[in-house]
Amino acid sequence: MLASRALVRGLQSGFWRRVSTSSAAWAAHTHDVDVVDCSIPQYNNRLDTPLPDVPFVQNLTAEQKKLKEKEKGSWTELTKEEKLALYRLTHELSFAEMRQGSKEWMTVLGGVFIFLGFTGLLVWWQRIYVYGDVPHTLSPESVAQQTQRMIDMRVNPVHGFSNKWDYEKKQWK
Amino acid sequence: MSLPKPAMRGLLGKRLRFHLPIAFGLALVAAATFKFTVTEPRKQAYADFYKRYDSMKEFNAMREAGVFESVRPAGK
């Protein structure tokens, strides 16, 4: 259950990110190509698979290459900024960044309500201009006759309908 | 940075030992509440109704009202 919740959160922030930017723009961000090649491993930000298949930045500049060389030595010699830069080379989002929500739900809810309201207007128009008349059995006189018959038949005399009618005084209790 | 080692085993068992008695208890409470707020009053209402029920009187009243097809109102 906890893993599924993490999965949902990861999907919520990661999924919409992938969908909102077009896949071509996304690929260009990481690979400098026009289309995503799905036959090679791709980078992903997911809470449940913390070690992506490829590092985030794949085409390193000369500076970044120098940093990677320095990484091959003793890590105690790396400064804090260098460690952070190396992290950002291999990962796009940290766990905290992956988990953080957004205010997108307000937009979604607003859009849902807008479209529901519009649908309501359409339904209203349909009710006025498309539907015919209701049956005559729904007129007040017909309903009164039906109610009288139900009382005569003793419908639900224990708890329900006829229980509420006073048969001596001929009125509702 | 020496943190205590977290619990690696028995996590599901621990959760079940905590939650299952609560679940059973709540289910029993729900059933008991329903029994004593719904079914017992309903049984009592039916018993009271039929204690003072005269079926012939009711039948004749319904017959006079004209709801039957097998018998017509008396006096026709």
Question: What is the ipTM, given to two decimal places?
Answer: 0.73
A167 closest CA partner among B72, B60, B47, B45: B60
Distance CA B45, CA A156 (A): 12
Q: Is the CB of A164 inside 8 Å of chain B's CB atoms?
A: no
Output phi, psi for A94, to 5 deg. Answer: -80, 170
What is the mean pLDDT of the segment spanning B53-59? Answer: 93
pLDDT band, very low/low/confident/very high, at A32 (cuts 50, 70, 90): low
pLDDT band, very low/low/confident/very high, at A158 (cuts 50, 70, 90): very high
Distance CA A86, CA A109 (A): 39
* Residue type for position B28: L
Specify the residue for token string 């009711």.
B58
Find the CB nearest B45 among A153, A154, A158.
A158
Q: Please give the pLDDT value at position A26.
A: 46
Q: Please give the pLDDT value at position B76.
A: 61
* B29: closest CA of chain A, how far (Å): 26
Distance CA A164, CA A159 (A): 8
Residue of A154, A162, A166 for testing the chain B interface, max B β-carbons within 10 Å: A154
CB environment A39-49: b (16+ within 10 A), e (fewer):
eeebbebbbee
Coil, strand or helix: which one is B3? coil
Coil, strand or helix: which one is B72? coil
The answer to whether residue A9 scores a pLDDT higher than 80 is no
Distance CA A115, CA A121 (A): 10
Q: Which helix (H) or strand (E) holds A166?
A: strand A165-166
A150: nearest CA partner in chain B = B67
Q: Please give the pLDDT value at position B61.
A: 92
* Dihedral in degrees, nearest 10, Cα atoms B60, B65, B68, B69: 130
Find the CB nearest A159 among B45, B62, B66.
B45
Would you say B61 and A167 are in contact if contact means Cβ atoms under 8 Å apart? Answer: yes
Coil, strand or helix: which one is A172? strand
Q: Is the CB of A88 inside 8 Å of chain B's CB atoms?
A: no
Q: Is the CB of A157 inside 8 Å of chain B's CB atoms?
A: yes
Q: Please give the pLDDT value at position A19.
A: 41
Interface contact A159-B66, CB threshold 8 A: no
Checking A110-118 for CB contacts under 8 A at 24+ apart, the result is none
CB within 8 Å of A30: residues ≥ 6 apart: A43, A56, A57, A58
The answer to whether residue A38 scores a pLDDT higher than 70 is yes
Distance CA A34, CA A25 (A): 8
β-pair type (A171-172, A165-166): antiparallel
Residue of A1, A145, A146, A159 for testing the chain B interface, max B β-carbons within 10 Å: A159
pLDDT band, very low/low/confident/very high, at A35 (cuts 50, 70, 90): confident
Find the CB nearest B62 among A154, A158, A159.
A154
Interface contact B49-A157, CB threshold 8 A: yes
* B62: closest CA of chain A, how far (Å): 6
CB contacts, 8 Å: A158 with chain B: 45-46, 49
The DSSP letter of residue B74 is S
Find the CB nearest A152 among B45, B49, B67.
B67
Specify the residue for token string 């204690």.
B51
